[in-house]
């Protein structure tokens, strides 16, 4: 069980502020209030209560047209833990779709954001999408970094396969390619190294 933090006005830029948004948490009708979608948090409050949710805890958000979820179009938000809002006596909160209460002890919570004006649903969704993209999952970022290093290792391995393990092996490969007329070489004598003239004679 996780308790959502109480409402605090966002301290990061607010992308959308929308009044008359009904909040339903795990089929419990919390009330109608104002939604704030900022770059760091999703917050909601009415006259008495409110909450703030950080984006790493949002597993999924989508526009729902499913009448089994709600009779009107709304925003569906899946939270990665079972949560409660501080200051609410859940015994006195009416349920929506109460015939299906099997998820009350689940490891997730479902939040519905239901605007009084359905035309605002897409605006809410786009603001959520933009702000969540600003807060990527740290595990996803680590995975991307691992992929970069893996690619680098693969490139190094492929280079070693192409040119040998270095030193004498590299020189032997170069000589063999010259002899087979498969490689052009422009060697710089200024470094003091010397290639036997026999090599060029054999290549000719």
30-75 residue pLDDT tens: 999 999 999 999 999 998 899 999 999 999 999 999 999 999 999 9
> For 1-10, 81-90, 144-153, 187-196, which range has the lowest pLDDT when averaged over its residues?
187-196
pLDDT at 86: 78
Looking at every residue in the chain, the average pLDDT score rounds to 76
Domain ranges within the chain, ordered by starting residue: 2-133, 138-184+199-203
Q: The whole model's pTM is what? A: 0.65
Pick the CATH number of 2-133 from 3.20.20.70, 3.40.50.300, 1.20.120.80, 2.30.29.30: 2.30.29.30
Distances (CA, A) of 154 to 96, 142, 147: 54, 18, 10
CB atoms within 10 A of CB 52: 19
Of 44, 154, 58, 127, nearest to 88 (Cα)? Answer: 44
What φ, ψ does residue 197 adopt, rounded to 5°?
-65, -20
Of 34, 63, 33, nearest to 129 (Cα)? Answer: 63
**38 CB-near residues (< 8 Å, 6+ apart):** 10, 11, 12, 13, 14, 15, 131
Distances (CA, A) of 167 to 113, 155, 160, 187, 202: 66, 19, 12, 16, 22
């Amino acid at each position: 069980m996780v308790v959502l933090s109480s409402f605090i006005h966002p301290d990061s830029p607010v992308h959308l502020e929308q009044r008359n948004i009904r909040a339903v948490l795990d089929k419990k009708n919390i009330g109608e209030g104002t939604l704030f979608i900022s770059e760091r948090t999703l917050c909601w409050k009415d006259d008495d209560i409110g909450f703030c949710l950080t984006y790493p805890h949002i597993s999924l958000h989508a526009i729902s047209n499913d009448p089994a979820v709600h009779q009107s179009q709304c925003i569906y938000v899946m939270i990665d833990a079972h949560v409660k809002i501080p200051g609410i006596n859940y015994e006195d909160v009416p349920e929506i779709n109460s015939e299906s209460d099997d998820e009350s002890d689940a490891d997730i919570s479902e939040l519905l954001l239901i605007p009084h004006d359905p035309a605002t649903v897409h605006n809410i969704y786009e603001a959520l999408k933009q702000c969540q993209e600003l807060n990527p999952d740290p595990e996803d970022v680590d995975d991307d970094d691992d992929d970069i290093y893996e690619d680098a290792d693969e490139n190094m391995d492929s280079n070693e396969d192409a040119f040998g393990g270095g030193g004498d092996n590299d020189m032997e490969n170069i000589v063999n390619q010259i002899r087979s007329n498969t490689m052009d070489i422009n060697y710089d004598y200024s470094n003091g190294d010397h290639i036997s003239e026999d090599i060029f004679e054999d290549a000719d």
